[in-house]
Amino acid sequence: SKTISKCYVQVTGMTCASCVANIERNLRREDGIHSILVALMAGKAEVRYNPAVIHPAAIAELIRELGFGATVLENCGEGDGILELVVRGMTCASCVHKIESTLMKTNGVLYCSVALATNKAHIKYDPEAIGPRDVIQVIKDLGFTTSLVKKDRSASHLDHKQEIRQWKRSFVVSLVFCIPVMGLMIYMMVMDSQLSEAHAHHNMSSEEMEALHSSMVLEYQLLPGLSVMNFLSFLLCVPVQVFGGWHFYIQASRALRHNTANMDVLVVLATSIAFLYSFVILLVAMAEKAKVNPVTFFDTPPMLFVFISLGRWLEHVAKGKTSEALARLISLQATEATIVTLGPDNVLLSEEQVDVDLVQRGDIVKVVPGGKFPVDGRVIEGHSMVDESLITGEAMPVTKKPGNTVIAGSINQNGSLLISATHVGADTTLSQIVKLVEEAQTSKAPIQQFADKLSGYFVPFIVAVSVVTLFAWIIIGFVDFEIVEKYFLGYNKSISAAEVIIRFAFQASITVLCIACPCSLGLA
C-alpha cells in the first residue's frame, strides 16, 4: 500500500465556511493528496498525502494560489502530552536526579524537570508511546508518592459578578447624587428664563433686576459669595467624586504609572478639573465677598460618572453572559473515569476509578447508564442510546453499537458501554470547543486593534486640544473683548474683563475635555 504521511498547514485569511469548502474542494483534486481537513477556527489544515508524489511545501503553495496565506507547521504532530505532577517525599537534589534520570530513560518521555522547592514535576511525553498513569507508576516505583496538580475546573476566572457589583454600586451612588444636581440646574434655568422675560417686558433697571435675582431662594447667600445653589451642588458633588469616581482614580493612577493614558485618565482629568475649578472660584468669590454668585461646574462630574459607570456596568453584564456560556461548557466535562482491564473474550478482570486527566489513549473505559463520557472514543462492547445534544444540538438520543464513536461530555442513557479512548485530555472535542471559545474571546478583530492603537493617542490629543482652547480664548479675549462678550451670555457686568475672559476660556476648555469623555464615542 502507499505510505501516507500527515502534515499541518497554518492557513490565514479564511473568513467563513465557504473559504474552507473552497480549499478542501480544490486540494482534493490534486494528485498525491489523500485527504484534507480544514479547521476554520484554529486556522489549520490537516493534510494526509503521499510523500512519493507531493511534499508539504508544494501543498502550502497550492493553498497560496487560492489566495490564502499558508505556512507549513514544523513538528506539529499530534501534539506532545504535558503532565504536571506534585511529587511528595523528595528530600534532596539526589532524589530529583533519580526521578529525572529514570524518567528520561523511560521510552516515550521527551522531557522532564523536577523542582525540589515546589515539589512539582513537569513532564512532556509522546502519547502514542506512554501515558500519564505509566509515568506516575514509574515515580511510585522509585518510592515517592505523586498526584496530579489539581486543575481549577470551576472556571472562577470567568466570573464577572464582582465587577458587575462594583460598577452597579458606582452607578447607583452617582445617580442618587446626580438627580438633585440636575433638578437644581433645571430649576435655575427655568427661573433665569422667567427673569429675562420679566426684564424684557418691564424694562427694569439693572438694580431692580439684581433685587429680583437675589430674591430667588437658591441664589440666597449663606455667606458672602456662597449661594445656596452652589453650596448644595458642592455637597452633592463631593460624595460622587469620592465614591463614584474611586475606581476611575485607581485605574487612572495605574495607567499613568505605566506612561499610558486611557479613558479613565480622561474621566479623572475632566471631573477633577471641573470640580477643583468650581471649588477655587467659590473660594475666590467668598474671599472677595462677591455680591454676584460665580458660575460653577459642579454639575459636570456627577453626570459624567453616571453615564460612564452605567456603560461599564452594562459592559461587564454582557461579558458575564458570554463567560457564563463558557463556564457551562467547562462544567460538562466529567471529572472521573472508570478504567477496566479486559481478559480474553472481553472478560472484565478489574476496574478502577481514576481522574479523567489520567486516562490514556487506548484505555478501555466503562460508562454506566446515566454516566458522562469522560473522553472521546470508540465503542467496543455494549448497545445504548446516547444524548449528544450538549455537543451537537441533536435532540434525539443517538444509537451506539460497537464501532461507533462517542463524544466526551455526552450522556449515556440506558445501556452500559465499554469504549476505547481515542482522544484524551486537551484533544477531546469538548476541550477543543472550550479552547476555541476562549481564544475567540481573547482575540481581537483587526479594527479593534486599530481602535486600541488610536485610543493611545486619543487622550493626549484631547488634553492638548483643550489646553490650546484655553490659551486661544484668553488671547482672543485680550485682543478683542467683544467676541467673548458676544458668546459669554449672562456674565455679570460688575466683574473685571480679565476675569470674564479667563472664566470663559476655562469653560470652553473643560467642555472640550468633558465632551471627549466616553472614548468609545469619541473614537467612533
The CATH number covering residue 40 comes to: 3.30.70.100
Label residues 274-292 b or e (16+ Cβ within 10 Å = b): bbebbbebbeebbeeebeb
β partners of residue 2: none
On whether both 307 and 158 belong to a single domain, the answer is yes
Q: How many domains does the chain have?
A: 5
Q: Which of 515, 464, 524, 454 is nearest to 262 (CA)?
A: 454
Task: Provide the pLDDT for residue 90.
Answer: 86
pLDDT in tens, 378-402: 899 999 999 988 777 888 999 999 9
380 neighbors 420 (Cβ within 8 angstroms)? yes
In a 13 Å sphere around the CA of 271, the CA atoms on its Cβ side amount to 30
Task: Provide the pLDDT for residue 365.
Answer: 94
DSSP-based three-state secondary structure for 267: helix
Residue 378 parent element (H or E): strand 376-381
β partners of residue 221: 227
Task: Provide the pLDDT for residue 41.
Answer: 58
- Which cell is 335 given? 471529572
Beta strands in 205-347 (DSSP E): 221-223, 226-227, 336-342
| Between 369 and 15, residue with greater pLDDT | 369
Residue carrying the nine cell digits 474683563: 497
164 neighbors 112 (Cβ within 8 angstroms)? no
Chain mean pLDDT for the chain: 80
Domain encompassing residue 34: 5-73
Max mean pLDDT among 81-85, 298-302, 335-339 falls in 335-339
Task: Look at residue 157 and tell me whether its pLDDT is greater than 90.
Answer: no
418 neighbors 379 (Cβ within 8 angstroms)? yes
The domain boundary, picked from 378, 401, 427, lies at: 427
On whether both 435 and 456 belong to a single domain, the answer is no
Region 237-246 average pLDDT: 82
The domain boundary, picked from 390, 419, 443, lies at: 443
CA–CA gap between residue 23 and residue 64 (Å, rounded):
10
Region 323-328 average pLDDT: 75
DSSP-based three-state secondary structure for 313: helix
On whether both 139 and 24 belong to a single domain, the answer is no
The domain boundary, picked from 148, 168, 195, lies at: 148
Task: Look at residue 264 and tell me whether its pLDDT is greater than 70.
Answer: yes
Max mean pLDDT among 5-14, 139-148, 290-299 falls in 139-148
pLDDT band of residue 219 (cuts 50, 70, 90) is low
- In angstroms, the Cα distances linking 475 to 273, 277, 469, 479, 510 are 21, 20, 10, 6, 17
387 neighbors 397 (Cβ within 8 angstroms)? yes
Task: Provide the pLDDT for residue 489.
Answer: 60
CA–CA gap between residue 513 and residue 283 (Å, rounded):
23
241 neighbors 271 (Cβ within 8 angstroms)? yes
On whether both 497 and 415 belong to a single domain, the answer is no
Residue 384 parent element (H or E): strand 384-387
Task: Provide the pLDDT for residue 399.
Answer: 93
Q: What is the DSSP letter of 372?
A: B
486 neighbors 231 (Cβ within 8 angstroms)? no
pLDDT band of residue 319 (cuts 50, 70, 90) is confident
Within 10 angstroms of residue 524's Cβ, the number of other Cβ atoms is: 7
On whether both 325 and 176 belong to a single domain, the answer is yes
pLDDT band of residue 309 (cuts 50, 70, 90) is confident
Task: Provide the pLDDT for residue 459.
Answer: 76
On whether both 181 and 264 belong to a single domain, the answer is yes
CA–CA gap between residue 171 and residue 244 (Å, rounded):
7
Q: What is the DSSP letter of 150?
A: P
On whether both 191 and 317 belong to a single domain, the answer is yes
CA–CA gap between residue 82 and residue 92 (Å, rounded):
25
| Between 187 and 339, residue with greater pLDDT | 339
Region 27-41 average pLDDT: 81
On whether both 350 and 291 belong to a single domain, the answer is no
On whether both 291 and 232 belong to a single domain, the answer is yes
CATH of the domain at 414: 2.70.150.10
Max mean pLDDT among 85-89, 222-226, 344-348, 432-436 falls in 85-89
The 3-state secondary structure of 453-480 reads: HHHHHHHHHHHHHHHHHHHHHHHHHHHC
54 neighbors 30 (Cβ within 8 angstroms)? yes
- In angstroms, the Cα distances linking 458 to 292, 307, 308, 452, 520 are 39, 20, 17, 10, 10
Task: Characterize the bridge pairing of strands 120-125 and 81-88.
Answer: antiparallel
- Which cell is 62 given? 497550492
DSSP-based three-state secondary structure for 506: helix
pLDDT in tens, 61-94: 999 998 888 988 876 555 567 888 899 888 888 8
| Between 5 and 402, residue with greater pLDDT | 402
pLDDT in tens, 99-156: 999 999 988 898 899 888 888 899 988 876 788 888 999 999 999 999 888 765 555 5
On whether both 375 and 436 belong to a single domain, the answer is no
On whether both 402 and 503 belong to a single domain, the answer is no
On whether both 159 and 137 belong to a single domain, the answer is no
Max mean pLDDT among 87-91, 358-362, 415-419, 502-506 falls in 415-419
